[in-house]
Amino acid sequence: MIKIIITNLALMITLLPALVQATNIKELNPIQSLKIESKYFKEPIDYNITLPKSYNEANSKDKKYFVIFDLHPRSQPYLSGLHDWLSHNGEWPWLETIVVTPADYNPEFAKVFEQIVSDPTKQTMLDFFEFDLLTKLDKTYRTNGFRIYSGFMGNGALGLFALLNRPNLFNAYIISSPSLANDFGAISSDANKKLAQLDDKMRFLYLATGNHQYEQGNLPAFELFEKALTTSSPKSLDWQVHRNNQNNYMSQPIVSTLNGIEALFADIHTNLAAESEISQNGAQAIIDYYAMVSEKKYGFDISAEGSLKALAKSLMKKDPKKALSVYQKTIELYPESAYALSSLAKAYAELGDIDKAIKYQTQAVEKSKSMIEWHQNKHKQYLDEFRAQLNDLGE
C-alpha cells in the first residue's frame, strides 16, 4: 500500500506543471459562435462551437478533429465538460472533439422539426444539416470528417431518422430514450427496409432507454426498432441496445454519452486480445483489420501497433522466433514509435540477448525525444536497466 501511495505521489509531482496549467478553466473549453444562413429560414441560426483546448495551440495547427453534434442548447455544458475530462489525459478514452450545439431555442427550426411528424418525406431538416450546417462547419473548422450525433427523446428520434434517411451525414449515433411512439418519422415502419439498404461503410449506434413513465409510451416502438436491427441491419452497422433502468430519466443522455463514447473508440484504445479470432490468424490479419477500420469507419489511419505487440508478447514462450518477427514487423510499420522499439528490446532482454536489447532501446530513447518528459525518462530508465544487466553479466 505504501509503495502504491509513493508511486502515485511521484506521478502527481511529474504531472504537476500540466495540472496547474490545466486549471485555467476559461481556456479549457473556448466557445465560438457560428451563424448559419439557410434558404430554409428567414433568420440565421446561431450555434455554439466548443473547441478542444489544443485547437489553437501552436503544435496543433495541422491537427483535425472529430465533431459531436447535439440539438439541445443545454447539452453544451455537459458534453463539453465530459469531453474535456475524458480527453485531457492523452485523448483517452475520448479523442479530442469539437462540440456543436444550438445557442438557443429557434421557433423556425422547431416548425421544420414538426414537418417530420406530419410528413416524413419532407426532409428539410436533413437538407439543412447536409448543405448548410455541416458544410459550413467543415469549411470553418479543422474537422476530420467523422461526425457523432447525440440526441435525447425527440432529438434522439431525429438521429434515428437521419440514420435511415441520410446515413452519410453522421458516422456514429448516441441515442437516449428516443420518442418513437406513433411511428415518428416512419422510423418503425421504415426500419427493416432502410436498415437493409445501408452500404458497407462502417457506422456505430449506441441506443438506450429506460422504464421511466416518460419512456414507457415509446417502449413498444423502441422494441420494434431493436427487432429491425436484429433482423435487417448489415454487418457494417455496429449497434448496441441497452435498457438502463437504474438511473434517473434525466441522467440517460449523460450515462449514454459516457458508455457510447467508450464503445465507439474501443477499437482505438483497446488492443485486440492475443486469443481473439483476428489475432489468432496472425500479424497480417491484424494489419488487415486495422486497415479496414481505418478506411471504412474513421477515414484515417488507426494504429495496429498495440495489437501486434500483444500478439508478439503472447508468442514469446512457445515460439520466440515468430514473436521476434512480429515485433520486427511492428517496427517496420511504425518506425517512429519509441514503444515499438522498446518492446523489441524487452523481448531480446527476455531471451538473454542484452546487446540487442541495448541496441534497440538506445534507438527508442532517441525516438522518445519528441515525447513528453515522463516518457523520455521511462525509456532512459529501461536503457539503464539493460546496461546494468550487461555489467552484471560481465562481472
pLDDT one-digit tens code per residue, 159-201 = 999 999 999 999 999 999 999 999 999 999 999 999 999 999 9
Q: pLDDT at residue 74 above 80?
A: yes
| Element housing 67 (H / E) | strand 65-70
**Residue 181 carries which DSSP code?**
G
More reliable by pLDDT, 336 or 17 = 336
Whether residue 34 contacts residue 136, with contact meaning beta carbons closer than 8 Å, is answered with yes
Supply the pLDDT for residue 242: 98
Mean pLDDT in residue range 355-359 = 97
Question: Model confidence at 206, in pLDDT bands (50, 70, 90)?
Answer: very high
Q: pLDDT at residue 28 above 90?
A: no
Mean pLDDT in residue range 5-27 = 51
Question: Model confidence at 272, in pLDDT bands (50, 70, 90)?
Answer: very high
Measure Cα distances from 133 to 48, 102, 137 in Å: 12, 11, 6
Supply the pLDDT for residue 90: 87
Beta-strand relationship, 31-36 and 45-50: antiparallel
Pairwise CA distance, residues 308 & 136, whole Å: 40
Question: Model confidence at 1, in pLDDT bands (50, 70, 90)?
Answer: very low
Q: Write the DSSP string, 274-295.
A: TTSHHHHT-HHHHHHHHHHHII
**pTM to 2 decimals?**
0.90
Whether residue 310 contacts residue 289, with contact meaning beta carbons closer than 8 Å, is answered with no
Please state the φ and ψ torsions of residue 281, each to the nearest 5 degrees: -90, 0
Pairwise CA distance, residues 197 & 10, whole Å: 55
In one-letter notation, the amino acid at residue 294 is: S
Question: Model confidence at 21, in pLDDT bands (50, 70, 90)?
Answer: low
Pairwise CA distance, residues 24 & 186, whole Å: 47
pLDDT, one tens digit per residue, over 96-151 is: 999 999 999 999 999 999 999 999 999 999 999 999 999 999 999 999 999 999 99
Buried b (16+ CB within 10 A) or exposed e, 143-161: bbebbbbbbbbbbbbbbbb
120 C-beta neighbours (distance < 10 Å), count: 18
